[in-house]
Structure 1
Amino acid sequence: MTAVEQKSAGDWRGVDLGTRTVSYTERDAIIYALAVGAQATELDLVFEEQLRVLPTFALTLAQWAPDELGTRGAFDTKTALHGSQELKVLAPLPRSGSVELKASVGEVWDKGAAAVFEVKVECEYFVATWSLFAPGAGGFGGERGPSKPAGPEGEPNVTADLVTAANQTALYRLLGDMHHIHIDPAAAAVIGQPRPIMHGLCTLAASTLPLARELGVHPADLLELQGRFAAPMFPGDTAQVRAWGDADGVDFELVRDGKAVISGAHAVFAKK
């Protein structure tokens, strides 16, 4: 057994996952915008002459970091789940270019039967944090970590429909997350799903577009975003964004057939 395999989950706290320079073009940013639901009429999201890059595009640039932790053997990549995501925007992403990303393991929480690994990616434009739920990796004597926050009370003051396209996962996976469960029915069946499921990050990002429209702000003016992945969403589904607050700070959830797909979500937008 190697030294990596002998590590307990808690030993990964603070581990440096390396630095990578990731390059992208205007075409990549436009494909991303289309993949999360931008319309052809939203020229500043899909036309290179007016392009504003959606802040959530950053998450595709940094996807290598949680993959790196799994590759190093911190958890079983076949059973680990993406539990939640955070994004803090420091500056707008340029239309194209190269970004140097530094990744590390943040906290590692002990949930008993499972561990939760935080993977943090930092650069001059954003800080992104993945929360990865790893069954079987708990029980190492660490702290349990924060509890799930209580949901908002009362009726939402903002609602909007999120209508996904039947080919949305086929398009989104071209941005780097090529996992078979998002395209192959046989792979989806292995994890107990009737058909391929949407990427969690695609669903979370897509929900910010109708939310921004209802709030009267631009989705590219997103400053902060977080959310928990509560249930799968399928391409072609329609779900409802239910939100409490305004652009300065809005709590929201995404609900399909009466069940939360994304819960405990929060967003902040700059107002111009």
Structure 2
Amino acid sequence: MTTQADLDVTDTADWAGRPLGEREVSWDERDAILFALAVGAPAERLDLVFERDLKVLPTFALTLAQWAPDVLGSAGAFDVGTALHGSQRLEVLAPMPPSGATLMQARVGNVWDKGAAAVFEVVVECEYVRATWSIFAPGRGGFGGERGPGRTSGPEGDPIATVGLDVAANAAALYRLTGDRHHIHIDPVAAERIGQPRPILHGLATLSAAVLAVAEAQGASPADLTLLEGRFSSPVFPGEHLTVPVWADGSFRVDTGRGTAIDGARALFA
């Protein structure tokens, strides 16, 4: 078991490799269906929203693991008021059953020094997935560590398809019910404090919605996702229209009318 002493560090570099504890999480069919609806699965996709032959979207596991980056922020590794979710990676190890339980173990991975900021990796593992959050923390850099990997180059050639996505006006309110209840996604006052004109959609909600679009373009089932990664560039607002260009190798991007929201992204399916 992780104790407070395990988390009591003062130097940014010393967070690397620190355990963040473990947690047994459980879910049922209702949880998986609510998640699918919250990220835009249509009612006619019975495999995603009807318990009879339900397949669980693999990105649902990220809602069950949200406690881990929250633990790191609460322990004082970074200022939760200014830190940003920089990117996300998800490796799918096995399909999740419609209902069940699993033990999730979390740790800090690498801590990269970006100069004015640090990037903390939070790694969560269980029998079904391995997930890595990259948290961009202003003011925590400059400790003499490695800069870490840079941005990947964009996909080559033209996309094989561009899929349109309409984000529901209540998308953020719905997604909050899956576990991430940070106030910036529902409270206009909280959103204003981070410089946004209104509440923003969760980055992971946008990423999960994009998986549906990429699967459609690839002729695959979104439940057969095996690998997902993407970098969050700018926020998405509930009610916006998105476009998702998709390339043959699984690369994709999420664009709004204001610019790119997710880049450096890739989704692979079995």
Pair in the same fold by TM > 0.5: yes
The letter for the 2-side match of 1:74 is: A
The letter for the 2-side match of 1:187 is: A
| Counterpart residue number, 2:78 | 75
Deviation for aligned residue 1:14: 0.3
Return structure 1 stretches of 4+ with deviation > 4 angstroms. Answer: 2-6
Aligned residues: 266
SS of 1:85's partner is strand
Deviations 1:109-141 (A, max 9, x none): 000100000000011111000000000000111
| Counterpart residue number, 2:269 | 269
Deviation for aligned residue 1:153: 3.0
The letter for the 1-side match of 2:264 is: G
| Counterpart residue number, 2:58 | 55
Deviation for aligned residue 1:103: 0.3
Aligned-pair RMSD on alpha carbons? 1.3
| Counterpart residue number, 1:28 | 31
Partners of 2:267 and 2:173 in 1: how far apart?
A: 27
Aligned residue among 173, 192, 210 for 2:176: 173
| Counterpart residue number, 2:212 | 209
Deviation for aligned residue 1:221: 0.5
Deviation for aligned residue 1:154: 3.1
SS of 1:10's partner is helix
Deviations 1:250-271 (A, max 9, x none): 111001126110000011001x
Partners of 1:154 and 1:236 in 2: how far apart?
A: 31
**Aligned pairs for 1:81-100 within 5 A:** 81-100=84-103
SS of 2:13's partner is helix
Partners of 1:136 and 1:258 in 2: how far apart?
A: 28
**Is 2:146 the partner of 1:143?**
yes
TM-aligned CA distance change 1:132 to 1:93, over 3 Å: same
Partners of 2:244 and 2:84 in 1: how far apart?
A: 23
Aligned residue among 11, 16, 20 for 1:13: 16
| Counterpart residue number, 2:259 | 259
Aligned residue among 102, 108, 112 for 1:105: 108
Partners of 1:184 and 1:258 in 2: how far apart?
A: 22
| Counterpart residue number, 1:117 | 120
Deviation for aligned residue 1:7: 1.4
| Counterpart residue number, 1:127 | 130
Partners of 1:175 and 1:42 in 2: how far apart?
A: 19
TM-score (norm 2): 0.96
TM-score (norm 1): 0.95
- Report if aligned partners of 2:243, 2:254 keep a CA contact under 8 Å in 1: yes
Deviation for aligned residue 1:5: 6.4
Deviations 1:83-116 (A, max 9, x none): 0000000000011111100000000000010000
- Report if aligned partners of 2:184, 2:199 keep a CA contact under 8 Å in 1: yes
| Counterpart residue number, 2:43 | 40
SS of 1:55's partner is coil
| Counterpart residue number, 2:224 | 221
- Report if aligned partners of 2:63, 2:178 keep a CA contact under 8 Å in 1: yes
Partners of 2:252 and 2:44 in 1: how far apart?
A: 26
SS of 1:69's partner is helix
**Is 2:189 the partner of 1:186?**
yes
Deviation for aligned residue 1:6: 5.3
- Report if aligned partners of 2:214, 2:250 keep a CA contact under 8 Å in 1: no
Aligned-pair identity (%): 62
| Counterpart residue number, 2:203 | 200
Deviations 1:50-100 (A, max 9, x none): 110000001001000000101111111110000000000000001111110
Deviations 1:160-187 (A, max 9, x none): 0111100000000011100111001111
Partners of 1:90 and 1:20 in 2: how far apart?
A: 18
| Counterpart residue number, 1:152 | 155
